[in-house]
A and B are shown apart, each in its own frame.
Chain A
Amino acid sequence: MSDDYAKAIPIPGPESVPFWEGAKNHKLMIQKCSDCGHHWFPPSTVCTGCGSRNIEWVASSGKGKIFSFVVFHRLYHKGWDGEIPYAVAVIELEEGARMLSNVIGIPVEEVKCDMAVDVVFEDATDTLTLPKFKPV
Chain B
Amino acid sequence: MRHRRLDLVLFFLYCGLYAGFMGIAAFRQDWMAWPVLGGVNLAIAYGMGLILGAIALALVATLVRRGEGEGR
Q: Judge: A and B partners, yes or no.
A: no
Interface residues of B (CB under 8 A from A): none
Interface residues of A (CB under 8 A from B): none
